[in-house]
């Protein structure tokens, strides 16, 4: 049998954690205005790169080389083929299930 003394500390910790979570949520959400919440979620026009980086620089700010080695290019090409197959199967399944 579990005694009351054994579960007192976990209950106190969980209640303290919930109170801390509520306070943090109230503090964090106060920085976001109501107008920001009402705006629709932006949908990017190009899904390949959701973020816009300066030309010739990756997301960490390190310069990108002009050439891609052959192994990486093969991986990219294979992935594009795989995505095309998925798109075709999805379109076919949509037509069948209509």
What is the model's pLDDT at position 77? 95
The answer to whether residue 45 is domain-embedded is: no
User: Is residue 72 in some structural domain?
Assistant: yes
Question: Is pTM, for the whole model, over 0.85?
Answer: no
3-state secondary structure of 57: strand
Q: How confident is the prediction for the chain on average, in pLDDT?
A: 83
Q: In this structure, is residue 54 part of a structural domain? A: no
Range of the domain at 3: 1-38
Number of domain units in the chain: 2
Task: Report d(CA 98, CA 87) in Å as an integer.
Answer: 17
The reply to whether 61 falls in a domain is no
97 belongs to a structural domain: yes
Confidence of residue 45 (pLDDT cuts 50, 70, 90): low
Q: Rg of the Cα trace of the chain?
A: 25
Does some domain include residue 24?
Answer: yes
Do the domain assignments include residue 63?
A: no
Domain-located, residue 60:
no
pLDDT digits (tens, 9 = 90+) for 53-77: 777 887 777 888 788 889 989 999 9
């Amino acid at each position: 049998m579990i005694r009351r003394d054994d579960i007192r500390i976990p209950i106190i910790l969980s209640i303290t954690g919930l109170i801390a979570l509520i306070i943090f949520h109230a503090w964090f959400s106060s920085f976001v205005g109501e107008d920001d919440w009402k705006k629709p979620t932006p949908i990017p026009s190009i899904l390949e790169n959701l973020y816009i980086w300066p030309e010739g620089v990756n997301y960490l700010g390190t310069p990108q080389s002009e050439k891609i080695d052959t192994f990486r290019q093969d991986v990219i090409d294979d992935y594009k083929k795989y995505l095309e197959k998925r798109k075709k199967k999805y379109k076919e399944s949509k037509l069948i299930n209509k």
